[in-house]
């Protein structure tokens, strides 16, 4: 008996559904309702009519809320913006460039209000401030990946929803000074003998010099170092490399990495935070949007009201973006972060600025830190600017401190300012603080990342008596 092979039947793609977009959600997706279904659609704007399609593996009989993609826009919004980028549609960097800035920031505000209303079961009211600025040429720091094509290397950004790279020769979000050097640096990269060992190239447009960092997986040969040095001197650039390194004085055979200046120095490279000069390295983390950072600093200082005698703890402090201006205003500040080299730089900057009232400690704020001397000290206010994962342990620490009835009232932090680039994580942390007696007394958003789904928010918590 002969058995004939029958190929498995492929699932038929669901038919496209015609929908009308009514809103944008917190992630910038268009929201449309059709029948008993709610569709979330990337790239769709309010008032637009489109045919959309869900994935074949979605069971529309069981799921009421589904993600869908556009197959055809039938009616375009009158205020939809045309692309001003040559790699639009492939590069994943500016996914919301088609939405006017005011509409986009307003959708983020409304999304935050809905989110916090559900998480803390309270109406947080309207924002006290919305800081916005230029939507182009605002980005002063970026990282390019390096890929090869027919023996030539090029700099690029990650393609949307892919690990592939989109070649970039200029970018509308980057500062003019960075754009000026993308092509020359790409050309220089291809002259290096170890060009295939370069993984990333980073730019930092500081308030001083422009810095360029090469991340490399081998020790930089002398001939290549000379090329980088000459390029830096000719163009008044700061250039550094991060390369493998092993201290010959150590017994351990473990190889680490180090950052080494090839041209220029930290004296040439600095940012200014509310009038305070902070020297940095090409690898240093800085807020990418200097215009919005200054507005955010002004807001945080208004909330903290730093003055002589005030005791402030700055968690996730980095180089001291908040700590240094707070100390300059006279308050006593303790900044804490996990990166030892960054804390070393912060200490040096405080010393150079004559801020003896600013000290810095190294600690992992996601691990046990509560018993350290600096953590047990009394504070009037705390500033927290964690990464996207939030400040779960630090929040629990502050909440426990507020609920401790046997604790001296002077040891309870009266004010907390939480800065967050992830509203979901911020809402989770807010639950702990609200449940321990804090109230959100003011809040607002900073459009730190125009043309994207991201938003920076600032929350002021006050301890109720």
Which two tokens mark 178?
């960075």
- From the list 414, 413, 420, the residue with the least C-alpha distance to 458 is 420
DSSP one-letter string for 355-377: -TTEEEEE--TTS--TTSHHHHS
Across the strands, what pairs with 458?
419, 444
Antiparallel, parallel or unpaired: β 415-420 and 456-463: antiparallel
- How far apart, in whole angstroms, are the C-alpha atoms of residue 48 and residue 32? 10
Q: What's the alpha-carbon Rg for the chain, to the nearest Å? A: 25
What b/e sequence results for 236-246 when a residue is b if at least 16 CB atoms lie within 10 Å of its CB, and e otherwise?
A: ebbbbbbbeee
* Distance of alpha carbon 58 from alpha carbon 240, whole angstroms: 50
Burial class of 106 by CB neighbour count within 10 A (0 to 12, 13 to 18, 19+): middle
Asked if 71 and 51 count as a contact pair (C-beta separation under 8 A), the reply is: yes
Strands 415-420, 381-384: pairing is: parallel
Q: Give the up-direction half-sphere exposure of residue 106: CA atoms within 13 A in the CB hemisphere.
A: 7
How far apart (Å, rounded) are the C-alpha atoms in residues 404 and 300? 27
H-only helix segments in 83-195? 101-119, 176-189
Active site residue 280: no
Q: State how far the alpha carbon of 311 is from the alpha carbons of 87, 354, 394, in Å.
A: 49, 18, 17
Give the whole-angstrom CA distance, residue 269 versus residue 212: 11
Cβ atoms within 10 Å of 368's Cβ, excluding its own:
11
Give the Cα separation of 404 and 426 in Å (integer): 23
Q: Show the tokens assigned to 264.
A: 């220029």
* Residue bearing tokens 């045919």: 51
The whole-angstrom distance between residue 373's C-alpha and the CA centroid of its chain comes to 30
Single out the catalytic residue among 94, 142, 421, 446.
421
Q: Closest by alpha carbon to 330, among 361, 299, 355?
A: 355
What contacts 441, CB < 8 A, 6 or more positions away?
Answer: 460, 461, 462
Active site residue ranges: 421
């Amino acid at each position: 008996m002969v058995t004939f092979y029958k190929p498995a039947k492929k699932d038929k793609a669901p038919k496209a559904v015609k929908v009308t977009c009514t809103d944008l959600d917190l992630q910038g997706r268009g929201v449309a309702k059709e029948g008993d279904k709610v569709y979330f659609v990337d790239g769709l704007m309010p008032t637009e009519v489109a045919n959309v399609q869900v994935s074949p593996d979605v069971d529309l009989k069981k799921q009421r809320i589904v993600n869908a993609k556009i197959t055809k826009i039938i009616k375009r919004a009158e205020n939809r913006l045309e692309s001003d980028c040559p790699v639009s549609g492939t590069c994943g960097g500016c996914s919301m460039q088609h939405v006017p800035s005011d509409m986009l920031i307003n959708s983020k505000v409304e999304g935050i209000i809905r989110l916090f209303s559900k998480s803390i079961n309270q109406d947080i009211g309207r924002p006290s401030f919305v800081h916005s600025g230029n939507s182009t040429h605002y980005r002063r720091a970026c990282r390019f990946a390096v890929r090869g094509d027919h023996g030539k290397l090029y700099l690029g950004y990650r393609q949307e929803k892919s690990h592939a790279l989109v070649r970039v020769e200029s970018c509308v979000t980057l500062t003019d000074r960075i754009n000026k050097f993308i092509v020359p640096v790409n050309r220089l990269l291809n002259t290096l003998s170890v060009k295939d060992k370069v993984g990333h190239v980073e730019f930092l447009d500081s308030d001083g010099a422009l810095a360029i960092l090469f991340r490399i997986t081998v020790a930089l040969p002398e001939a290549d170092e000379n090329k980088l040095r000459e390029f830096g001197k000719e163009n008044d650039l700061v250039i550094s490399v991060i390369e493998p390194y092993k201290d010959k004085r150590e017994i351990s055979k473990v190889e680490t990495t180090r950052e080494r200046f090839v041209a220029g120095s930290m004296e040439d490279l600095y940012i200014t935070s509310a009038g305070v000069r902070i020297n940095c390295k090409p690898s240093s983390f800085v807020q990418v949007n200097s215009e919005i950072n200054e507005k955010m600093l002004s807001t945080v200082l208004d909330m903290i009201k730093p003055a002589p005698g005030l005791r402030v703890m700055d968690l996730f402090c980095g180089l001291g973006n908040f700590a240094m201006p707070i100390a300059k205003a006279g308050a006593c500040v303790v900044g804490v972060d996990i990166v030892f080299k960054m804390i070393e730089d912060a200490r040096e900057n405080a010393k150079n600025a004559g801020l003896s009232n600013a000290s810095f400690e190294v600690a992992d704020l996601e691990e046990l830190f509560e018993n350290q001397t600096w953590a047990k000290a009394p504070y009037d206010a705390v500033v927290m600017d964690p990464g996207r994962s939030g400040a779960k342990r630090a929040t629990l620490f502050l909440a426990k401190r507020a609920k401790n009835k046997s604790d001296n009232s002077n040891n309870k932090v009266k004010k907390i300012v939480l800065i967050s680039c992830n509203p979901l994580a911020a809402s989770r942390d807010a639950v702990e603080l609200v449940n321990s007696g804090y109230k959100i007394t003011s809040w607002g958003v900073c459009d730190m990342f125009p043309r994207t789904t991201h938003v920076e928010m600032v929350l002021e918590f006050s301890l109720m008596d």
